[in-house]
Structure formats: structure tokens, C-alpha cells
Structure 1
């Protein structure tokens, strides 16, 4: 770990600390991987420090992405006008051809894009493991280390195929015992519980319509025995609700609860179709939701009741979801869309700009169990932060820098620090050759489509 000191001076600062302090002109100092000073006015002088001129910029906590499917970056643009079930059935044959090389390229592309849009911590839900694909979890873990983001890979799974009444084809599912053994092995090999961890494993069966109840229950028991968190898709579409009613005689939320899937160690992706009783129950249990507004809209799935969930006590973070249902893969755009969609549903007071920023930072950190380490700018926390340039024509004249960041177009990213290390500078990702990578992404997609026939 580097012990270099970086001083950001003269910027607007939004801390999101307990007092929600903001400074019109202030400073943030990082030494090694920790924040060592935050305050108003000029920074103290530090011998040998790198000083970054923050004038015209806003420094904010790095964003936390709570739901993604990195492998989908090489299958964007397909089934562009389909709903969820039709989209899945179109893409499963293409995804059946992925391997460690395609996952490496896809993860590079998706993670680089996340970095360019202010993300410092990414949770990925990888649930598809073709038998001849190689070690796909290892491929994305090594890629995250290469790109430089803090990473929470969720070891997903599917054991309910078409022949058993599920949605995925037989070629992409695994046996339950195989899944549990592989998941425990991944935890033992990769999970790092240290306070400054760059890598934590999550247990994540895919969804009620692709996983048996037995796997859901045993996966929850495994996660709690190993002390890791739980994640799955839930209540994304009305089709899913109809499917659960027909098969189990209950809603997706009720089904998950019966299997032990509630509590502060659990978070659901999407969570669109919850009724009042379910929202109250989720809030009381501290169960989290990864809100994916762009993907939800792209697939016509609906608008999650974000304001109601937050008021009930559920932590609601943001996710870009898979790149095949959100081709932009931009976390800052999810923050803006979350605010706009919440207001479209509940009126202008449903969500304010600072609440939207909290969803992108502190709430996401809470979902991942890391609110004491990341999500705000405070002395002693990890040096995960973004410096946004707000003095260009696109944002000039907007007096409130938080409003400029949330409501305006994505501004240039002057600097992104992850664990104290620069990953983006002057709107350029330092760890990836983007033109070369773009060509590889195109090549991989053509190969996958050809393999699918």
C-alpha cells in the first residue's frame, strides 16, 4: 500500500458525515488509503504531498454500485424492445457461450465505465457458469484488481432449469450440491473481512424463477455460517409475481421470507413490486434494496417505491444492473434517474438531491455492511472519493454543487481515488487502454452471437 499523501484543496466539499457538513471552499487530505483531514478553508501544508487544485470542483464520497452483471458488457444492445422474460430467453443462448476470456473483457469494460462515472466500490452478481467456461469468478475478481475498484462479487447460481419449470435452459444451470461447494470454496479462497478489504464475497442465488427453494434456504444457512452477506433478484416484474403465486401461492417477498431471506445481511435487486405490508416488513427487518431505475425502465418493469422503502427503514442503494439491460452502465446517471423517477411517481418532495446522493454513497455502503469504512468523507475512513469538475458550461451558474452533480449532465471526473490510489484523472481511466478494449468488446460480442447460432 502506498503511503503517498494527496491534498485536494480549494474545492466544494460534501462530507455526508453524521452532521452532514458541507464546505463551499474546503479541503480533503488522504494519506495512504485513509482520509486524514477534512475541513473548511485552505489545507495545511504537508511536506512532499501531491496537491490537487480543486477550484471549480466538488469533492464527494465515491459511489457504491450495489447491483451489476459485469459479463453482460459484451452482449449490449440485444433484445432492445423486450420485457424481462422475453429478454432473458433471447439472451440465455448467447450467455451460454461465455468463458473466462469474455468475462475478463466484459468486466474490464463495465468496471472502467463505472470508474469513469464516480464508482469506487462495485458489487457484481455473477450467476451463470457454463461447464466449459473456465473459472469465471476468478476472471472478474482479477479484473477488478487490475482496474482498481473495491469489489464485492456475489457468487450467483441457478439450479432450476426449463425441464424443472424454471426459465433458464438446462445448459446454464448447476447441481445444488455443486453450487454450495463452489460457493463455500469461493468464500474460503477470496473473502477478506479486514476493515480495509478490497474484496468480499457475497452468496447470491439468482432469482425465484431460476433457483429451487432448497438452494435458497441452504445458501442462506451457508452465508450466515461463513459470516457473509446475501443477495438475489426479487419482485422485479409482475410476471415474477404471477409465477410465484401460481407455483407457491404467495408473493415473491413472502416466498423469500419463508426461506430465511430477510434481515440486515440481505439485499434484493430491483424490489419494484412490494405492497405496503411488505415494505413495512422489509423496513423493520433492515432488508436492503438495490434500486436500478434505468434497467427497470429499459425493460418496462416499473418504478420502485423508493421513498416508501426509505421511510420504512430499508437501506436503498443504487445499481446499474447488467449492461444488457442498461447499455450506459453509468452510476451517476442512476442517481439522477432515481431522483426523477421517484418524483414522477410521488411528486416533487418524494426525493431531494441530497437523499439521491446518499443513496449513491452511504446507503450503498450500508447495504454492503461497510458504512463505517466508506460512503462519507471523514477522518479515519478509507480514501474512496471523487472530484467532479463543475465549472464547465454544462454546470456553470448552478449555485448548489450537489444539485449540479445530481440534476445536471454527468460532469468531467477530475480525479477518482480508490483506497488512496488514483484510478481516474482528467476524465481518463488510468488502468485500462479504452480504444484497445473497445475493439476487443466488439470482437467478443460477434464471437458469442456466432456461437449461439
Structure 2
């Protein structure tokens, strides 16, 4: 399939030079951007031509942290004002009842919500494996494939239950041997290291308070053996700080260093409570960060020091986090909140609209070590492209800087999305997915699990 997008008002490339092409065109062959330029394109063989008149195009967003299954547990009344640990303890008792069908539907819903807000690549931190449901990773990966999203799955894990000093109930933790065996199975079955792969796998113990020191070390060893990435939560709350001090006599970053997790294949979610020394060591390790501003705000966890980190070697991306701590999966909201929250803490010049958009595009690609393939609109990159019509109500009066307006004027949704060369959203509607079906199924399952 050969596709030409022409007459675009602006193509914001987010390449190394942050080029913004006015009146530009993009030529796509199958799943790769083959050429691009300004003004009128040369005579090109094409199967489809798309008018970009009145539109701004960006590389697709890259979501670096989520828990898809939590989209079944939005706005739960009992925990609308709870802190993280209390929130977790309460919800574990509901989460323990999820099954493969719940994961299949919630995965689809979570991805569709993100796709509408511009996400073309996402990861997910799937760490919950209730007994008797060994096929949850398979259900999730198959559901993600059906949506057409580019998916970097993570096989998460928990092995410390309440009786061992952890937070989760026995019914959702697994033995370390079982965890490692299934991690290996999932990598061998699903991980695709080839360029432009649609499915990759990382390994992701849940957090310092839900797995053992030995499992953290063994997971690093397996990641190195199979050359996959590593992911976990880190330094999200002061409660975590206190837990790590009481359990290991170390603060969270110190503990990560002890178990071998300060290395370039790692990315951490949250990183709210960091000292200057923590930031330096994370930078020296070239670690990645999934900044989740809305979830941090929702749970009252604090404000991650992104402004102090953005000039370092830390790879910074954005994440919506789970929909039980965000209650949304809107990536555009994440981009906007990333800007506003840093300005609340550090001042109006702390961060710019283009900086947060870069975090959502190339930043996320760098976090997932996919920056040679995605994250910018350039020749040779994957055809993951999103577009916004600028004649919408929220942009009225905001066209002096259309790219900045996407953040400052609160863009609501994409009008166009192409993933791996396939158009998945056109005129704001899904081309291959029955949105109403998934909404109805999700609500049925959510009602059952929350009753």
C-alpha cells in the first residue's frame, strides 16, 4: 500500500532538529515513511491520497506506563480519596477476581481510549495473576494485536503477599519459580526484536514492596540473557520510602542499585521522591522514566522533579498509569498535565509545550529503546502518524501557534491515526473496531467485579 498525505498545514516532525514543515507532504510505502517534503510532492505512485489541509500532523504518542485491567475499576467510590497503599489494599480484593475475558476486554478498552488521544505505541505493566488464570498475558497480547496498536508488553510479577510483609493477598501472588518460568515462556513466544516489531516483551516485577530481593536480581539476569528491557514502580510515595527503609534499611534508589537495577535497560514509573544524588545516579545509569502526572495528582502522591531531570541523561517519557488511579486513559490530558504540574512547582518557564510533546513522542520512544524506529516523522521511520483538524471549537482563536495549541488549548482527540502504515482512526472514528461493543462488554464485566 502506497499512501500520500499532502497539503498538511504543519508537520511537526520531532526529529533531532525539531523541524516543523509548513505545507508539507509524507509518502508512505506499506509501514515505512519513504519520503517527505514541502510544497508540492513529485509524481509518486500511490494507492491512496489523503488531504492534510487544515491539519497538524505529529508522530504518534508513546505511552510508557499503564495497567490496562484497571480500566474496569474507574471512580470506585470507596477509594476516591485514598492514598496509594490504602488504595492498593482495598482494590486487591476486587482485582483478584479478574480472568482472561476481563483482561481481553479491558485491554481493548484501555488501548482504544489511548488511540483516540493519539497513542500509537503503548506498554502495559501486567503484574496481577490470580490463581487458576495462567493465560492472562496471552489474552492481553492477543487483544492488543486485534486493536492494531504497537505493543510493548511487560510480564510483571508479585511474590510477596501480606503474610510475607507485602501488601497483596495470597491469591494474586506467585512462587518465584513459576514467575521466572512464565517470563521465559512469554519472551520466547511473543518477543519480536526485529525492526518495526508490533509486539515486544519486557520484564517487570511490580514494586519493591511486592517482590523479593532475589526475584529482582533473577529478573535482571533473565533480561540480560534475552536482551529485553526491565520496568518497575519506583519512589512513588513517601510510604514507599518508609517501607524500603524499614524492610531493607535503604531508600528506594539505593535498593535498586543494590539489586542491579540501575542500568540502561531499565525504566521506572513515577520517581516522585528523588534526592539530587538519586537523580545523578539515575542519569549516570541512563535509566528511563515514565512520568505519570495525572495519577500522581489523583492519589496526592506529589510532583515528580521532571524540570530538574530533563537536562540529564535520564530518558523521560509520559504514561497515563492505570485507570483506577487516573480514572482516564487520555494521553492528551497527560501531556497537558505534565506541563501544568511542572509550572505549579517550578514556575511558568519551567517547561514548554513542545518539550512535553517531545516527551510524549521521541521521549517515550527513547524510554522503550525504540527511537530508531518510532517517535518522529522522518524518512526510514515507522509510519505511526497522528493528525488534528484545527477548525475545532477548542482551537478557535488559537491558531497563531497550532502546535503549542495542542497542549495549551486542551486538544480533545485525534481526527486521524495511522499505525504501522494502517489507518486506524479516520474522521475521528475507528476504522476496524466496534467501539460500542467494547463499551457494553466492559460495563458488564465492571459491574460484576465491583458488586
Task: Tell me which residue corresponds to 1:23.
Answer: 21
Contact in 1 for aligned 2:4/2:25 (Cα 8 Å): no
- 1:201-220 alignment, distance < 5 Å: 201-220=201-220
Once residues 393 and 190 of structure 1 are traced to their aligned partners in structure 2, the CA distance between those partners, rounded to angstroms, is 43
- Mind listing any 5+ residue stretches in structure 1 that lack a counterpart? none
Contact in 1 for aligned 2:118/2:413 (Cα 8 Å): no
1:369-415 CA-partner distances (Å, limit 9, x unpaired): 11010000000000001011112231133211111111122244221
- SS of aligned partner of 1:311: coil
Is structure 2 residue 52 aligned with structure 1 residue 54? yes
Structure 1 residue ranges, 4+ long, deviating more than 6 angstroms after superposition: none
- In terms of mean alpha carbon deviation, does 205-214 or 47-56 score higher? 47-56
Deviation at 1:426, TM superposition (A): 1.1
Once residues 413 and 101 of structure 2 are traced to their aligned partners in structure 1, the CA distance between those partners, rounded to angstroms, is 31
1:155-176 CA-partner distances (Å, limit 9, x unpaired): 0000011000001111100000
Is structure 2 residue 247 aligned with structure 1 residue 247? yes
Deviation at 1:449, TM superposition (A): 2.2
Task: Tell me which residue corresponds to 1:363.
Answer: 363
Task: Tell me which residue corresponds to 1:150.
Answer: 150
Task: Tell me which residue corresponds to 2:33.
Answer: 35
- Name the count of aligned residue pairs: 448
- SS of aligned partner of 1:413: coil
Task: Tell me which residue corresponds to 2:404.
Answer: 403
Once residues 411 and 53 of structure 1 are traced to their aligned partners in structure 2, the CA distance between those partners, rounded to angstroms, is 21
Once residues 271 and 431 of structure 1 are traced to their aligned partners in structure 2, the CA distance between those partners, rounded to angstroms, is 37
Task: Tell me which residue corresponds to 1:132.
Answer: 132
- SS of aligned partner of 2:22: strand
Contact in 2 for aligned 1:412/1:426 (Cα 8 Å): no
- 1:320-359 alignment, distance < 5 Å: 320-359=320-359
Q: TM-score when scaled to structure 2?
A: 0.97
Once residues 192 and 109 of structure 1 are traced to their aligned partners in structure 2, the CA distance between those partners, rounded to angstroms, is 24
- Mind listing any 5+ residue stretches in structure 2 that lack a counterpart? none
- In terms of mean alpha carbon deviation, does 149-158 or 76-85 score higher? 76-85
CA shift in 2, pair 1:250/1:412, >3 Å: closer
RMSD between aligned residues = 1.1
Contact in 1 for aligned 2:2/2:27 (Cα 8 Å): no
1:356-381 CA-partner distances (Å, limit 9, x unpaired): 11100001000101101000000000
Task: Tell me which residue corresponds to 2:427.
Answer: 426
Q: TM-score when scaled to structure 1?
A: 0.97
- SS of aligned partner of 2:199: coil
- In terms of mean alpha carbon deviation, does 240-249 or 3-12 score higher? 3-12
Contact in 2 for aligned 1:7/1:49 (Cα 8 Å): no
